Amino acid sequence: MTTGDGPSTITWVLHTDLVNLVRGRGLPDYDPVTTKGPAVGWVPADLALDAFGGLVENPWGPTGELRLVPDPETFVEIDRLPGGRPPFRFALARCVDLDDVSWPSCPRVVLERTVGRLADEFGLHVLAATEHEFGLLGQPVPLPFTVDAARRAEPLLSAVVTALTQAGVGPENVLPEFGHNQFEITAEPAMGVAAADRTVIVREVVREVARALDREITFSPVIGPGAGTNGAHLHLSLLDTDGHSVTADPLGEHGLSPVTSRFAAGIMAHLPGLSGLCTPSVVSYQRVGPRSWSAGYTAFGVANREAALRLAPGRPSGSGRPGLGPSLEFRPIDATANPYLAMAGILAAGMDGIRRNLPLPRSIAVDPDQLDDDQRAELGIEPLPRSLDDAIAALERDDVLTDLFDDELWACLTSLKRQEIERFRATPPSRIVTAYARAY
Ligand code: GLU
Ligand code: MG
């Protein structure tokens, strides 16, 4: 800890907004060990900032006053950055009003409440992790998955692993991916809200390392025209109150426990509405779609990478890490999605499946795009929304998901999305890609 020794000790108190950009204010004297963290002032209308430098119409305008309260559990300090940069210190925050009451429009508060419902109503907890894909821009393009691709990107990847280790988020796996200079990094899973926090932490640390090395990277769903797509697949497993996984059951269908089957069935039932929370940008629809390994249909599959929800096997035995058993991998999600709202939506959908005792759809062993319309109809498989307009309309029709929002949050979210759709209505796809690549 290097508190109190000059300007390099700024700690950023950060909040993740509705377009999944992280914004905040700096504190010169934050010490996560001795204080719960002083709050900093915040403005409700900050939620209405878009990803392109604008502010959309919103319910608060210039009025209202909030506080960002940093959570010491999320404190990160990285002081071994390349190029002798000042340490990068930050803590993630929740929003409260001036009476210290949780602000219901804060995405982190929405997830806290949803995770609380999962525990109170079902005695369940969620362990989750994001697979982060990103592209390195402006470099010659090596061949996919090759060690050549990985080594050419150095020292980026090694510096990312060092920084993530220092951030305490347990980097697990780093790999060159299929797209042009595309890489993937995963970190250890975490419980509940901490899992969404970790998703934010990993991205911000990777971005800082790239800045330190003067490399341009993007987590945008599309790296460049024809250059590949970045997903942010979310793996989920359910645990009981003692921390034991209740995901697997050797006697259950597909080896899943009854409760996880119903939970997965709930996610399947709400996939169209979830698009509005998980693939929530205009550019998201240049990624999701058939034959892209990003999911184009409402299909469930065991070990099928064209499925929207894939049952993924657990870690290989002998990996030296605790075996967590299989996980549910939610694939139509990207880095323009606020991870708190996306996860809250997925959990709310899963809980609806448990409550209504929904049956899990049949697992599809082929690419659903290879089936004809009749076969898909027979299996209950539908195309996922193919545009942001359709996704927002599906979200609007989904009461389970819209119940997560208070009126003001809903008004702000729909205002942002309407403005985003209009902004790009006549823009050529390649220019859309460039605009989001810059923002993310
Ligand atoms: N890049 C793909 C996506 O956009 C995922 C590839 C993979 O399965 O890792 O989702
Ligand atoms: Mg991947």
Amino acid at 279: T
| Cα–Cα nearest to 260, from 353, 366, 177, 330 | 353
Residue 316 pLDDT? 60
Sign of CA dihedral 304, 306, 307, 312: positive
Residue 8 pLDDT? 55
Query: Is residue 284 in contact with ligand 1, taking CB distance under 6 Å?
Result: no
Atom of ligand 1 nearest to the CA of 230: 4
Number of domains in the chain: 1
Query: pLDDT tens across 381-428, in order?
Result: 999 999 999 999 999 999 999 999 999 999 999 999 999 999 999 999
Q: Classify residue 5: in a domain, yes or no.
A: no
Q: Classify residue 333: in a domain, yes or no.
A: yes
| Cα–Cα nearest to 339, from 15, 13, 45, 123 | 15
Atom of ligand 1 nearest to the CA of 287: 4
Residue 325 pLDDT? 79
Q: Classify residue 39: in a domain, yes or no.
A: no
Q: Classify residue 80: in a domain, yes or no.
A: no
For residue 60 the two structure tokens come to 């608060």
Q: Please say whether the beta carbons of 160 and 81 come within 8 A.
A: no
Q: Classify residue 200: in a domain, yes or no.
A: yes
Q: Classify residue 27: in a domain, yes or no.
A: no
- Whether pLDDT at 373 is above 80: yes
Residue 361 pLDDT? 93
Distance 294 CA to ligand 1 centre (A): 5
- State the ligand closest to the CA atom of 292: 1
- Radius of gyration over every alpha carbon of the chain, rounded to an integer in angstroms: 21
Query: Is residue 304 in contact with ligand 1, taking CB distance under 6 Å?
Result: no
Instruction: Please give the share of the chain, as a percent, with pLDDT higher than 70.
Output: 95
Query: Is residue 294 in contact with ligand 1, taking CB distance under 6 Å?
Result: yes
- State the ligand closest to the CA atom of 221: 1
Residue 31 pLDDT? 82
Query: pLDDT tens across 108-140, in order?
Result: 999 999 999 999 999 999 999 999 999 999 999
Residue 9 pLDDT? 84
Residue 7 pLDDT? 47
Residue 3 pLDDT? 42
**Cβ-defined contacts of 139-143 (< 8 Å, 24+):** 139/181, 141/180, 141/181, 141/227, 142/176, 142/181
Q: Please say whether the beta carbons of 406 and 105 come within 8 A.
A: yes
Q: Classify residue 384: in a domain, yes or no.
A: yes
CATH of the domain at 354: 3.30.590.10
- Compute, in degrees rounded to 10, the torsion defined by CA atoms 234, 240, 241, 243: -70
Query: pLDDT tens across 285-339, in order?
Result: 999 999 889 999 999 999 899 999 999 987 665 555 555 678 999 999 999 999 9
Q: Which of 130, 131, 132, 133 to mutate to test the pocket of ligand 1 (most atoms within 8 A of CB)?
A: 133
Distance 276 CA to ligand 2 centre (A): 22
DSSP-derived 3-state class of residue 434: helix
Distance 284 CA to ligand 1 centre (A): 13
Query: pLDDT tens across 160-211, in order?
Result: 999 999 999 989 999 999 999 999 999 999 999 999 999 999 999 999 999 9
Average pLDDT for 91-111: 97
Which domain range does residue 113 map to?
A: 105-439
Mean pLDDT estimate for the chain: 94
- Whether pLDDT at 35 is above 50: yes
Query: Is residue 293 in contact with ligand 1, taking CB distance under 6 Å?
Result: yes
CA distance linking residue 376 with residue 386, whole number of Å = 17
CA distance linking residue 388 with residue 295, whole number of Å = 15
Phi-psi category of 188—alpha, beta or left, where left has phi over 0 and alpha has psi -120 to 50? beta
Q: Which of 175, 229, 306 to mutate to test the pocket of ligand 1 (most atoms within 8 A of CB)?
A: 229
Query: Is residue 94 in contact with ligand 1, taking CB distance under 6 Å?
Result: no
Q: Which of 145, 233, 234, 310 to mutate to test the pocket of ligand 1 (most atoms within 8 A of CB)?
A: 233
Query: Is residue 133 in contact with ligand 1, taking CB distance under 6 Å?
Result: yes
Distance 270 CA to ligand 2 centre (A): 24
Distance 177 CA to ligand 2 centre (A): 6
Amino acid at 439: A
Which residue's alpha carbon is at the smallest distance from atom 6 of ligand 1?
Answer: 293
CA distance linking residue 310 with residue 299, whole number of Å = 9
Query: Is residue 287 in contact with ligand 1, taking CB distance under 6 Å?
Result: yes
Q: Which residues contact 393 (CB under 8 A, 6 or more apart)?
A: 385
Q: Classify residue 161: in a domain, yes or no.
A: yes
Helices (H) and strands (E) in the chain, counts: 12, 15
DSSP calls for 47-64: GGB-TTS-B---SSTT--
Distance 230 CA to ligand 2 centre (A): 8
